[in-house]
Every structure is written in structure tokens, then in C-alpha cells.
Structure 1
Amino acid sequence: MDSTAPPPPPQWAVDMNSPAPQRTTKASSIPDPPGFSSAKASSKQQRQQPQQQTTTPRKTGDTDALKLKKAWELALAPTKQIPMNAIMMYMSGNSLQIFSIMMVFMLFKGPIQGLLSTNSAFAKFESEGTKGQMWMVKAVYMLMQCGLLALGVWKVNAMGLLPTTRSDWLAWETERQPLERAYFAFD
């Protein structure tokens, strides 16, 4: 034996480089997946044949429908946040602690940023075909953001931070007498 000869390649390398066996008949009724070729084409044949496009271009109506569907998903996303935020606000308590104050701050911050960036959030979905329908999507989005803001106002009121009743800081206001205790002078 010659010690300078390289060892033979392993069987798996030989199997990988050899072409797949040709199928003469289709054994099953399952079609081949897209992009599958049963026989390996040589590199010359691949260079000579132009690549065929496997994807068909979408119609603009289909694209507009998909854009509108995605826009509606974005518009209704704050609706899914309302129950979660309501539970979080309930669980944080009504006392003035750093945790509850930060929760209320974040509850106000998200919807305000959402309202200010409404047009930029829906800019990627606007096209000539969807322009007439986007005003309704934006209106629903803004309504849902206002719902989150209303939840924040409810929480601030529950914490006692809204001046809904007479308190000491409104001491300049004179106390009103109820009508039952008012005395009328008759002559």
C-alpha cells in the first residue's frame, strides 16, 4: 500500500455528491413541494436556463385589502389593553404610593403618545385604494385611545386627586346652605 494516497471519502460524502435516483412513475398522489426538482441539473444547464418566477404578482386590490386588514388590527389593539390595564389599576390600590403613581403615569403616557402619532402609525397602510377607508380606522383608533385615557381619569379620581367635591384647598368658596335650612322672612 502506498502511504501517500489519500483515504477514500466517507460513504455519506459520496451519497451527497451523487445524483438522486430517477423516479419513473409517481408512487403517491402527493405532489412535490414548490421548488423541488427530482433530478439535479448540471451547472451548465442552470446557467443556460433563465430562472422562472414561482411567485405571481398580487393584484392591487388584494394588497389594499391586506393593508386595510392590518390597519384594523392596529386600530383595535388598544381595545385589548383596556381589560389588562383596568385589572392592573384595580390591583395597584388607591393610596398615593410610588407604585400606583407610576402606574397612572404610564397609563396616561401610552394613549397620549398614541393620539399624537396617529397619522405616522397608519402611514404605512395608506395608499390610493385605502385612503377613503382610513379615516374610519383612525377614528376607531383614537376612540380606543380615549377609552384608555378615561380609565386613567377614573383611577386618578379613585385616588382622590380630582377636585370633584369641596375640599380644604377650595376654602375660599363659601359653604352653601341646603334649601331645607333656609329661613324665609315673611312680613
Structure 2
Amino acid sequence: MSSANSSIPKWVLDLQHPPPPSKSKNGSIPDPPGYPSQSTALSKKQASKEAKTQPRKQPTPEEMDTLKLKKAWEVALAPVKNLPMTAIMMYMSGNSLQIFSIMMVYMAFKNPILGILSTNQAFERFESETNKGKIIQAKLAYVAMQLVALAVGIWKVNAMGLLP
């Protein structure tokens, strides 16, 4: 048996027979910065349990309308966020008639037209009886942004020499 144990590497023996668990830490050595000690970890757990027991306050209808209006404006301004990348891609594709530039022009026309046609669908989840007037403003801004994106496509077609 001793010959069998001597031929087995030490790390295998350590895996088969792990050392006993370490004793509790010495109280004279403080925890490093950013490391929570046992007492603070327990107090944080108790505080989180107390926080979980309190029910969340339901938002008022005015707060919900404000939140819906903010989200509607994010949707309305989304087409402009894609505009710089589209313009750079169109500029880099060149003015000659190639498959890449034709596909870029196709996408520059397709996306804004589909966006304009689906305006009501894009904003129907934000619309309520109390904020219809404000949502109409966001819808008009959305259509205007889609027209700006369409103008970039027209600029590209003109640069390619396809407009009379």
C-alpha cells in the first residue's frame, strides 16, 4: 500500500483527501478594503429582507402618462440615431452603380417608407385617452424624422446620377 501511495502524486492525494476546513478568521486582522465582513454582510441581508417586505408603490396615472410620453419620444427620435451611420455607408459605397450601392439605396428608401406606414402601430402602446394630444406631437416628429431619412436616400440617388 505504501508503494501505491508513493507513486500517486501529491496533488491527487490532496484532491482525494482535502484538508480540514479553515478555522474562523483571526479577529486581529481587518478585512481588506471593499471586502464585506461577516457582521456587515448579515446586516445588509437583514436590510434587504426588510426592503423586500415593503410593497412597491403603484405609479399614479399622471406618472404613467409621463413615462409613456418619454418612451414615445424615444421612439420618435430613433430614426435620426441611425442617420449618421446610413449617411457614412452611402458616402463610402461610392456613386457608381454596383450591387452594394443599389442595396444601400433600396434600404434607404424601404425603411423610412415602412416607418411612415407603420406610425400608428409604433405608438399604439403609448397612447391613452389623457395623452392623445401629446402623442400626436411625437407621431409628427417621427414622420418628420422618417422624411429626413428618406431625404438621405434621395441625396444618394442624386449623387449616383439617377435623378433627372
Q: Which TM-score applies when normalising by structure 1? A: 0.61
> Matched residues in 1 for 2:49 and 2:86: separation?
47
Q: Which residue of 2 aligns with 1:56?
A: 57
> Matched residues in 2 for 1:147 and 1:27: separation?
55
Paired residue type of 2:70: K
Paired residue type of 1:129: T
- 1:52-108 deviation line (CA, Å, top 9, x unaligned): 761121101111100000000000011111111110100010000011000110111
Q: Which residue of 1 aligns with 2:81?
A: 80
Q: Secondary structure at the match of 1:101?
A: helix
Paired residue type of 1:35: K
Q: Which residue of 2 aligns with 1:170?
A: none
Greater fraction of residues in helix = 2
Q: Secondary structure at the match of 1:132?
A: helix
Runs of 4+ displaced beyond 2 Å: 26-37
Q: How large is the Cα RMSD of the aligned pairs?
A: 2.6
Paired residue type of 1:69: K
Structure 1 residue 144 and structure 2 residue 153: aligned? Answer: no
Match of 2:49 among 26, 30, 35: 35
Q: Which residue of 1 aligns with 2:27?
A: none
Runs of 5+ unmatched residues, structure 1 = 1-10, 12-22, 38-51, 164-187
Provide the aligned length of Structure 1 versus Structure 2.
Answer: 126
**Greater RCO, CA 8 A, separation 6+:** 2
Q: Which TM-score applies when normalising by structure 2? A: 0.69
Structure 1 residue 117 and structure 2 residue 131: aligned? Answer: no
**Identity among equivalent pairs (%):** 58
Mark the structure with the bigger radius of gyration.
Answer: 1
Q: 1:162 to 1:35 in 2, by over 3 A?
A: same
Please show how residues 84-123 of structure 1 align to structure 2 within 5 Å.
Answer: 84-123=85-124
